[in-house]
Amino acid sequence: MKHLFIIGISLLFSSLMTRAQSKTQNQPPAQGQQRQLTPAQEAEMIAQMQAQAKKFTVPQIKSELEKSPNPVLYAKQILQKRFTIDTIVVTKTRGFNSLADSLAYNGKEKKVYGPYGDKSGRFLVQILTKAPNEFYHVGQIFIDTSVFRRRIADSIGDKILGRIKNGSATFEEMAQSYSMGGEAATKGDLGWIARGVLLPQIEHEIANRKKGEVFKIWSPSGLHIIRKTDDPRKDTGFALMMRVFL
C-alpha cells in the first residue's frame, strides 16, 4: 500500500502550502509562482499542520478529509490516525447486509460519513472511489429437491410454467404459492443482483433470453424458475472505502 502514500504527495503539499502561504501573506500567491521549500522547511510545515490537526473536532476532520486531494496520505501524514482501506463488492441494490454495503452503494465519492462505533472504537468512513458492474433484475420461484423428489419438482415446475404461459396465473401469484426460497414475501422478485452473484448457469441463460421470458434451471439444490424481469443495467458494483479510527 506504500504506493498509495507516494502518489499525489506533491499535489497534497502544494495545495496545503498554497493555503498556508496565502493566509500568511494575506493575499493569494501570484499565478505561476510557487515557493520551493527545503526539506527542513517542509518538515517544519508538516509538524505545524500535525499540531493543528490534533486540535481538530470531528466535523473539522471530516471537512479536511473531503477537501484533501489525497485523503489517504492526509490521514497518515497529517492526522496521524490509524486507518484501513477496504474494497466493498455491492451484490444487490436493496436489502443490504451491512453498513459497509449500504454506504458503498448509497454513499457519494469523497464524502465522509460517521462517526460510527462505540466510544472505544469510533471511526469515520470515506468513499474514495467507485466502479460499475452489471446488474440483473430477476424473479425466482424455487422448488427445493431436499423436500420433493426431482421428478415431482419437475412436474410442479411444468405446472407453474404452464399456468404462467397460458395466462391463468401470474408469476407473482405462483411465487407466493410455490416458492420455497423465501421469495414469497417479495412475490418472487429478487431485485437487481450483481453479475457474479447468481449461479453461472442462470447468468448464462439470462444473457440468451429476452426481457420478460420465464424459464427453468436446475442446480444441486433444486429447480429454479427464473424470470428475466428487465434488461441488464450498469450500476455501482464496487467501492474503495477508507475507515479512519478516531
Does 88 reside within a domain? no
The predicted model scores a pTM of 0.75
- The reply to whether 6 and 69 lie within a common domain is yes
Does 216 reside within a domain? yes
Does 224 reside within a domain? yes
Does 238 reside within a domain? no
- The reply to whether 77 and 139 lie within a common domain is no
Does 150 reside within a domain? yes
Domain with 228 in it: what CATH number?
3.10.50.40
pLDDT in tens, the chain (246 residues): 333 333 343 444 344 444 444 443 444 555 555 667 788 888 888 899 999 999 999 999 999 999 999 999 999 999 999 999 999 999 999 888 899 999 999 999 999 999 999 888 899 999 999 999 999 999 999 999 999 999 999 999 999 999 999 999 999 999 999 999 888 889 999 999 999 999 999 999 999 999 999 999 999 999 999 999 999 999 999 999 999 999
Are the C-beta atoms of residues 193 and 138 closer than 8 Å to each other? yes
- The reply to whether 156 and 227 lie within a common domain is yes
- Write down which residue in 15, 50, 81 finishes a domain: 81
Backbone angles phi, psi at 42, to 5 degrees: -65, -45
- Give the count of domains, the chain: 2
Q: Which residue has the cell 441463460?
A: 205
Helix (H), strand (E) at residue 2? helix 2-6
Question: Which grid coordinates are listed for 6?
Answer: 507516494
List of E strands, 4-122: 83-89, 112-116
Range of the domain at 44: 1-23+37-81
- The reply to whether 145 and 67 lie within a common domain is no
Does 28 reside within a domain? no
